[in-house]
Amino acid sequence: MRLGNLLKVAVILVVAAAVSLVSFYPVAGVPWLPLTQDINLGLDLRGGVHVVLEAVDTEDAKATPDAVQRSIGMLEERINQFGVTEPVIQQQGTNRIIVEIAGVDDPDAVVRDLIRPAYLEFRTEDGTTVLTGADLSDAREAINPNTREPEVNLTWNPEGAKTFAEVTAAHVGRRLGIYLDGHMLQNPEIKQPIPDGKAVITGYESLQEANRVAVLLRSGALPVKLDIMEKRTVGPQLGADSLERSVTAGAIGFGAILLFMVLYYRLPGLVSAVSLVVYATLVLLVLAAFNATLTLAGIFGFLLSLGIAIDANIIIFERLKEELRTGRSLRSAVDAGFKRAFVAILDANVTTLIAAVILYVFAPVMIKGFALTLGIGILISMFTGLVLTKWMLHLLAGSGMVNSPRLYLK
Amino acid sequence: MFHFVRQRKYWYLISLLIIVPGIISLLFRGLNLGIDFTGGSLVEVQFQKQVSVQEVRAVLTGHGLERSVIQLSGDRQVLIRTGVITETQNQAMIESLGKEVGTLTVLRNEAVGPVIGKELAQRAILALLAAAVAIVVYISWRFEFKQGLAAIVALLHDALITIGIFSLFWIQVDSAFVAAVLTILGYSINATIVIFDRIRENAKAAKKTEPLEDVVNRSLWDTMARSINTSVTVMFMLLALFFLGGATLKAFVLALMIGVVSGTWSSIFIAGPVWLDLRKRLPRSKRPAGARA
């Protein structure tokens, strides 16, 4: 029974050590290990761009909701061509668009490519450009009332209609390529001459697909001016450097904390060291599970939370020492220490949590990650501090084999 | 046991000696606001060879950007801060640097429009106010209103010391600074609450004859080891980040270090004593039922 308690502690130690080792230490050939590979790295850690664009009014085109939609469609199309993974494109407010792209070699070139106006052209099979976006006045998706099939209706302006009539008359049976930014969007066949300036493109799977093409055509027909409101690019070199440096710094800081705890608090210090390793693993697990993106500020928040997480242990151990000095037995001192420390830990953590939540709600994007890791850290530290540390101390005290006061007190 | 609480006017004085110059600096020249708040652009490049500020400045002058701030870090890395410029100007500047100074890699290129900067500043102030109010409400609920007030005095103390030092030494502040100040508030309130918790407990157990002054003093000593040890562990991490963590968030870590020292000080030497003074000087307010947990 007594030996059983020590055994349990040993099992906890082995499990904790194993889990954290496989979580942090890369194992070749096992794709889901380590855990750290499952955590998305933010733009500032692997290089990338964060741009806030705003559609602005020009003489030619107004920044209408449709204009913003067209810009988003066009940006999506362009970004897809970069072949990057998981780009973020989202609308903010009425006329702002946030674009985030990670892992690009030349982020500034990407920004340049993104904001140039869309260039739409129509080319015959021999590659001659016969019409451009300037000739097109509108493009709308619709369901054909007769065939019930989705289609895109093009409307040419008077000049475009004239050219279009000539081109279609001369190229019946051949194809007219539609290119956006030099990239082929569609290659419909000219079935008959169209003299009235209204063209119909058919053959879509769904109305949604027709809508996508119509939006892209309109973005070339009515180019929107996009202004950069905010741009943050980080080269891949700086990102890798930041990651490496913060991991090294974190490891050293972490080591110093563990060493201090063991030297100052002895056996309980050792217990808290185990708790802290479990804490770090759990936080990373939660981040991976929620698919959170770890930014540099997020890493700093995580590392800082290690320093703060140990606070719960320190409060408890100080109480434990007080209780032991009054001559209590080890087992009752452990219980009393936890009971008295609990309120202080709860109140202290709730207020910090309030600060973290407010930070998360109000803070600008780049420090949201910091607030998130800080908040998750506080919650998990309550668990490791109040549950895991307590459990291990109980087992140790209950074993009756490691109860020399010298292990707990100076 | 040294009686902290009786000597409190000296602690107030020490704090004021740091806070007052900071406030004066804040009033007369404010903060060195980075592009996050003012709008502007920040470009960090690394050249393949050693370069001088003069070379870089000569190129910038050619672009009409002679008023930019140019900072060397190491002898190949250069940080350039300019006012609000267009994307085209930005690209032209980098291109000229590459042609006229030497081959370079762009490490970082940030541009913030003036509108965004203004929005950010407003949100930062809003966040600080919201956090302060929420914290007072929580403490007033869990402890008593006057302890909430005392905690806010301590918070204000830490915020003023950190912001004041950044103003005095003209260290640039960006959006991460807002996060730092909020974290400091969280940390400081944490420390204060642990002490208030002990005061609450000791006051309940104290004999009627024991002066409140002595109860507070005893509570400070009871929690002293915790106050110092927690700050020490947090400091370990901050020192490692400051010296090894890279340049990007250095000012952020510095703010946290100042805040941790100030927060430890204020929780011991300011919060408890101020509460005592509030108790003595302010008329007794009726405490709502159930205010004590």
- Within 374-393 of A, beta carbons closer than 8 Å to B belong to 374
Report the Cα B254 to chain-centroid distance in Å.
8
Identity of the residue numbered A66: D
Let me know whether A130 and A163 are in one domain: yes
Mean pLDDT along residues A62-76: 84
Flag whether pLDDT at B26 surpasses 90.
yes
The answer to whether B193 contacts A351, with C-beta atoms less than 8 Å apart, is yes
- Residue B111's DSSP bridge partners are A231, B41
Flag whether pLDDT at A181 surpasses 60.
yes
How far is the first Cα of chain B from the last one, in angstroms, to the nearest whole number? Answer: 30
Flag whether pLDDT at B196 surpasses 90.
yes
Let me know whether A192 and A51 are in one domain: yes
Measure A237 CA to nearest chain B CA, in Å: 7
Let me know whether A33 and A169 are in one domain: no
Query: What's the CATH number where A331 sits?
Result: 1.20.1640.10
pLDDT of residue B257: 96
Residue with the bigger pLDDT between A19 and A250: it is: A250
Q: What is the per-residue pLDDT across A260-293, written as a single tens digit (0 to 9) for each?
A: 999 999 889 999 998 998 898 888 888 888 877 7
Euclidean distance between CA atoms B251 and B79, whole angstroms: 15
Confidence of residue A29 (pLDDT cuts 50, 70, 90): low
- Beta strands (DSSP E) in chain B are 40-47, 69-73, 77-82, 104-112
Contact yes or no for A339/A331 (Cβ under 8 A): no
Site of tokens 């080319």: A123
pLDDT of residue B288: 47
Measure B93 CA to nearest chain A CA, in Å: 13
> Would you call B140 an interface residue with chain A, using a CB distance cutoff of 8 Å?
no
Let me know whether A145 and A19 are in one domain: no
Let me know whether A31 and A88 are in one domain: no
Measure A256 CA to nearest chain B CA, in Å: 6
Flag whether pLDDT at B286 surpasses 60.
no
Contact yes or no for B235/B257 (Cβ under 8 A): yes
Class of the domain covering B40-112: alpha beta
Flag whether pLDDT at A22 surpasses 80.
no
| CA contacts within 13 A on the Cβ side of A335 | 5
Report the CATH architecture of B4-33+116-281: Up-down Bundle (1.20)
Query: Under DSSP, is residue A222 helix (H, G, I), strand (E, B) or coil?
Result: coil
Let me know whether A280 and A359 are in one domain: yes
Judging contacts by C-beta atoms under 8 Å, the chain B residues touching residue A115 are: 87
Query: What's the CATH number where A224 sits?
Result: 3.30.1360.200
Domain boundary among A212, A233, A254: A233
Let me know whether A18 and A55 are in one domain: no
The answer to whether A363 contacts B178, with C-beta atoms less than 8 Å apart, is yes
- When CB atoms are compared, the residue of B107, B190, B243 closest to A235 is B107
Task: Give the closest residue to A251 by CA, choosing from B244, B253, B254, B252.
Answer: B244
Q: CA-based angle B72:A247:A259, to the nearest 5?
A: 115
Can you read off the two tokens belonging to residue A305?
A: 């939370």
- Within 212-271 of A, beta carbons closer than 8 Å to B belong to 227-235, 237-238, 241-242, 245-246, 248-250, 252-254, 256-257, 260-261, 264
Can you read off the two tokens belonging to residue B94?
A: 């980098």
Q: To probe the interface with A, which of B227, B230, B264 has the most A CB atoms within 10 Å? A: B230
Let me know whether A38 and A87 are in one domain: no
Break chain B into its structural domains and give their ranges: 4-33+116-281, 40-112
Q: What is the per-residue pLDDT across A324-347, written as a single tens digit (0 to 9) for each?
A: 888 888 888 888 889 888 988 998
**Which residues, other chains included, contact B125 with Cβ-Cβ below 8 Å and sequence gap of 6+?**
none
SS (H, E, C) B207-251: CCCCCHHHHHHHHHHHHHHHHHHHHHHHHHHHHHHHHHCCCCCHH
DSSP state of A135: G
Domain boundary among A233, A257, A275: A233
- When CB atoms are compared, the residue of B198, B241, B252 closest to A303 is B241
Let me know whether A32 and A64 are in one domain: no
Judging contacts by C-beta atoms under 8 Å, the chain A residues touching residue B291 are: none
Domain extent, residue A197, equals 46-233
Residue with the bigger pLDDT between B232 and B73: it is: B232
CA torsion through residues B208, B214, B216, B219, sign = negative
Let me know whether A342 and A397 are in one domain: yes
pLDDT of residue A365: 66
Can you read off the two tokens belonging to residue B238?
A: 């901050």
- When CB atoms are compared, the residue of B94, B107, B186 closest to A352 is B186
pLDDT of residue A36: 61
Task: Report the residue of chain A nearest B237, measured CA to CA.
Answer: A253
> What are the Cα distances from residue A38, in Å, to A31, A67, A321, A372?
10, 37, 41, 17
Flag whether pLDDT at A17 surpasses 80.
no
Domain boundary among A167, A201, A233: A233
Let me know whether A336 and A373 are in one domain: yes
Q: How many distinct structural domains can be found in chain A?
A: 2
The answer to whether A308 contacts B106, with C-beta atoms less than 8 Å apart, is no
Mean pLDDT along residues A61-88: 81
Alpha helices in A363-388 (DSSP H): 365-383
Flag whether pLDDT at B285 surpasses 70.
no
Task: Report the residue of chain A nearest B138, measured CA to CA.
Answer: A351
Contact yes or no for A225/A55 (Cβ under 8 A): yes
How high is the mean pLDDT of chain A?
84
Mean pLDDT along residues A241-246: 88
pLDDT of residue A410: 59
Let me know whether A136 and A50 are in one domain: yes
> What are the Cα distances from residue A237, in Å, to A51, A182, B94, B107, B242?
19, 31, 17, 7, 20
Q: Where is mean pLDDT largest: A30-44, A353-367, B227-241?
A: B227-241
Euclidean distance between CA atoms B279 and B275, whole angstroms: 6
Judging contacts by C-beta atoms under 8 Å, the chain B residues touching residue A231 are: 87, 109-112
Task: Report the residue of chain B nearest A307, measured CA to CA.
Answer: B234
Flag whether pLDDT at B291 surpasses 90.
no
Task: Report the residue of chain A nearest B109, measured CA to CA.
Answer: A233
pLDDT of residue A26: 52
pTM over 0.90: no
